[in-house]
Amino acid sequence: MTRIIIIGASSGIGKELALRYAEAGNLVAITGRRNQLLKEMQQCYPDRIRISSFDVRDKAATNYLEQLVNEMGGMDIFIYNAGFGEPSEAFQLEKEILSTEINVNGCVALVGAAFQYFIQQGQGQIVLTSSVAAIRGNSWAPAYSASKAFLSNFAEGLNIKAQRLGKKIVVTEVRPGFVNTKAAQGNRRFWVSTPQKVAVQMMRAIEREKRVAYVTRRWWFIGQLLKLIPYWLYRRMA
């Protein structure tokens, strides 16, 4: 039985991951701000799901994580799925700040705590839900794209650090394309996948301990195209 903690699991991709991992017989701890939704999920698998309601921006967030690890008797996989991004034609400073606080500051605190735990344990796996948006800047949500680029580099840096420390710690960065969730917004959406399909492909990538995974897989082609488009052309699209 694998012990898995998912940060940001009250809905969408995180919810699907939690339910599928629990259904497979794993012990899963889920977090989110909406406690009632967490309780409803726990009722599906009361013996396999633990819950903790908190905001990743809370200064005590790492304490809540430590409590969950103790309650589960350890941790094997840590998934940071919390995120925020709201596109807007106008520049809205408060939303840009919120994206940074959740996607960057919250991630560094909790992923850092998980990485430190795995160093002491000698092994483990960390999963960061990034985005195809990490590849280039975007005028509709500048801080969101920048924060996902941060996650991408953070994941790569942690992988290198784990190797230099001689620890069997794998950090998997998952880059979803457009996903049909309540929180998902954006202009010109295409290839929109369901959270169920994304969760299945994420689990496969996690099992294979991939360093970078695009979900769904066809978004890999978009990722490569984005890297090749020159700025003078890209700025007309973004």
Burial of 199 (0-12, 13-18, 19+ CB in 10 A): buried
| Annotated catalytic residue 144 | yes
The dihedral region occupied by 25, where left means phi > 0, alpha psi between -120 and 50, and beta the remainder, is left
Residue 55 near residue 110 (C-beta atoms within 8 A): no
Q: Which of 144, 214, 231, 234 is catalytic?
A: 144
For residue 172 the two structure tokens come to: 């998997």
Angle between helices 93-100 and 142-165 in degrees, nearest 10? 10
**Distance (Å, whole) CA 190 – CA 179:** 9
Q: Which helix (H) or strand (E) holds 156?
A: helix 142-165
Q: Which residues contact 22 (CB under 8 A, 6 or more apart)?
A: 28, 44, 45, 48, 49
The dihedral region occupied by 7, where left means phi > 0, alpha psi between -120 and 50, and beta the remainder, is beta
CA gyration radius, the chain? 17
Active site residues: 144
